[in-house]
Amino acid sequence: MKKLALFLILISTTIYAQINRIEPANWWVGMKLNQITLLVYGNNIQDLEPTIKYDGVHVVKIEKVENPNYLFVTINIAPDTKIGKAKIDFKKNGKTIITKDFPLLARENNSANRESFSNKDAILLIMPDRFANGNPKNDNLPGSLEKANRNDENGRHGGDIQGIINNLDYIQSLGYTQIWNTPLVENNMQKYSYHGYAATDFYKIDPRYGTNEDFKRLVQEAKKRNIGLIWDVVLNHCGLEYYFIKDMPMKDWVNFPDTRTRTNHLKSTLLDPYATKQDKKGYTDGWFDTTMPDLNQRNPLMASYLTQNTIWWIEYAGLSGFREDTFSYADKDFLAYWTKTILEEYPNFNIVGEEMTHVTEIAAYWQKNKKNIDGYQCYLPSLMDFALTDNLVKALNNKNDWESTWKEVYKSMGQDYQFPNPNNLLIFPDNHDMDRIYSRLNKNLDHWKLAMTLYATMRGIPQIYYGTELLFTHEKMGNDGQRRGDFYGGWEGDTKNAITRKGLTNEELEAQKFFTHLFNWRKTATAIHDGKFTHYVPEKNEAYVYFRYTDKQKIMVILNKNDKKITLDMKTYQDIIPSNFSAKEALSGKEINVNGMLEVAPKSALILEIK
C-alpha cells in the first residue's frame, strides 16, 4: 500500500507540476557575476527539489516563497566550467519528475572590455513602431491583445526590426554611429502599448517587432556599418499583463499591490532634507501609471532578476550601452548596486540615465564620483541634459531685451561644475517624450540650423530623434501620438520618402542636406570629441561664441541669431586664438583669412577649423 501511495503521489506530481519558465534561460562561463538566481515558474512546483550534476556548477540555495508556482534557485558557475548543457533535475521524494537543460555558453572575445558609446558618437533615437514596417506579416499575430491601426495616433502602426535593418544605410549616411531604440521587449497590453515601456516579458522581443534572433541580426548588421546598439532598460516598472504580476511570487514583489497608488513625481524629495519618509516613498514606490506596476527592487529576488536580465541582453545581443528609463524612480540603493554591478562586469560600458529635470543639482546627484552631502554614491556614468534643451529653445525664440537671449544657455553651461563628468552628458534637441524641436522653434529653419550646429559641437554626446533631419513637426503640442509620427517612406504607399526624397519639400531637402554634412563632419572632428570647452559671455549682438580645442586642433563656433550681419573683434578671443589667422569653414569648405575682424552673416552658424 505504501508503494502504491508513493506511486500515486509521483503520478499526481507529474500530472500537475509543470515548469513553464526558467529565467535566465542560460548563462555564460567566465562572468564576474557567476552566482545567479534562477526564477523557476510553473504549476505547483514548490515541492520539487532541483539538483545539478555538472562539473563546476552547484546549487547554492533554494528559496521557496508564498506562491507555490515559484522556486528561486541560486547556482554558482566556476570560472573553469566547460561549455555545454547542464541538466537541472527536479525531483520529488528522490525521483526525477522533470529535467531541464541549462546551456552554459562561451563569451565573445573581449566581451568584458567591449567599446561603448562616447563623445565621439552621434546617437539616433528610434521609436520602432513608428519608424518602418519591414515585415507587414507580423503586424497582427495570434495572442497579441492590440492590433495595428495607423489611423490611431495612440495605437500600433506596425514598425519593426526589419524596418530598421532596411534603413541602416540611410542611418549611416546621416552620420550616426549609435542607435537607441525605445524598448523592443514584449508589451502585450490591451491598448497604448506601442511605446514599449509596459513590458510583459523582459526576456523576449515583442513578436510584432520580430524575434530575439532578429534583434541579434540587427546588431550584427549595424556593426558592419560601424553602428552600435543601445538598449533601453526599464527597472522601475512593467505592464499589468506580465505573468509574474498576474501571478505574483510574493506580495512584496511590487509596491502598493492593493492600492496601486500613483507616484507623486516629486523627485526633489530624494534630496530634500525636510521631506518625510512617506513623501520619499510616494515618489519611488508609487506606480508610474495604473497599468504599470512599480517593481520593488528592495526585494533581493527582484533585484537579482532585473540585474541578471540586463547583463543577459548585453551578452546575448552584443550591446554597446544602456539608456535607463525613469532612473530615480527606482530604489536608490538598488540603483547604486545595479550600476556598480554592470560596470564591474563591463568597465568601459556607458549607461545614460533619464532624470527628467531642469534642476542641475538633482541630475548631478546620480553621476558616478559625485560627492553628495548625504554620502550617497551611484555609479551612473551619464545623464540626460534636459536643462540645455529648454534653455536653447528659449534663447532662439525670445526677443532681445536688455541682455542677450543667449545668456540662459551660457548660464546653464556654467552649472557644469556640479557634474563630475559633464563631457559624458547626453545632449538632445528633443525625444519621444517632448515636442519636436522644429515645432518648438516655430518652424524657423534658420533657428533649427543654429540648434543643430550647437548639438553637433557642444560638449557631451548628441542624441537626435528620427525625422529631425526632415523637420518633423506636429500641430498639437504635448500630443505623444503626433510627437511620434511615422517616418517618411517607412510604409508602402507613403507619399513622402526620406531615402528616395520623393515628396519632400525644398525646406526638408535643405535640412536633410545640412544635417548630413554637419554630422558626417563631426565624425572626424577630434576636438569636438575630446576637446576642452570655453565660451564667451554673449553680448547684445546676439552671437554665442565658444571654442573646442585640443593640443592638435582648435575649432571656433559662432552662432549668430541676429537679423543683420555682425562684426566680431578678434581681440576678444585672444586668450584662445591670435587676432589674425586662417581657417577652413566646416559647413561650406571655404578657406578664409581673418585679420582682426570677422563678419558673420545674419541668422547663420560658423564652424571654423583654425589652422
Active-site residues, by number, are 325, 354
Helix axes 332-345, 300-317, angle to 10 degrees: 30
527 phi, psi to nearest 5 deg? -65, -30
Alpha helices in 97-210 (DSSP H): 161-166, 168-173
List the one residue out of 100, 97, 12 whose CA is nearest residue 48. 97
Q: Which amino acid appears at position 99 of this protein?
A: T
Name the helix (H) or strand (E) containing 302. helix 300-317
Q: How far apart are CA 233 and CA 220, in angstroms?
A: 20
**What are the DSSP calls for 63-94, one per residue?**
EE-SSTTEEEEEEEE-TTPPSEEEEEEEEETT
Sorted by sequence, the CB contacts under 8 Å of residue 497 that are 6+ apart come out as 488, 489, 503, 504
Q: How far apart are CA 395 and CA 397, in angstroms?
A: 6
Q: How many CA atoms lie within 13 A of 284 on its CB side?
A: 21
Cell numbers found for residue 598: 570677422
Judge whether 318 and 230 are in contact, CB under 8 Å.
no
The count of other CB atoms within 10 Å of the CB of residue 438 is 24
CA distances from 102 to 22, 86, 109, 401 (A): 9, 5, 22, 68
3-state secondary structure of 421: coil
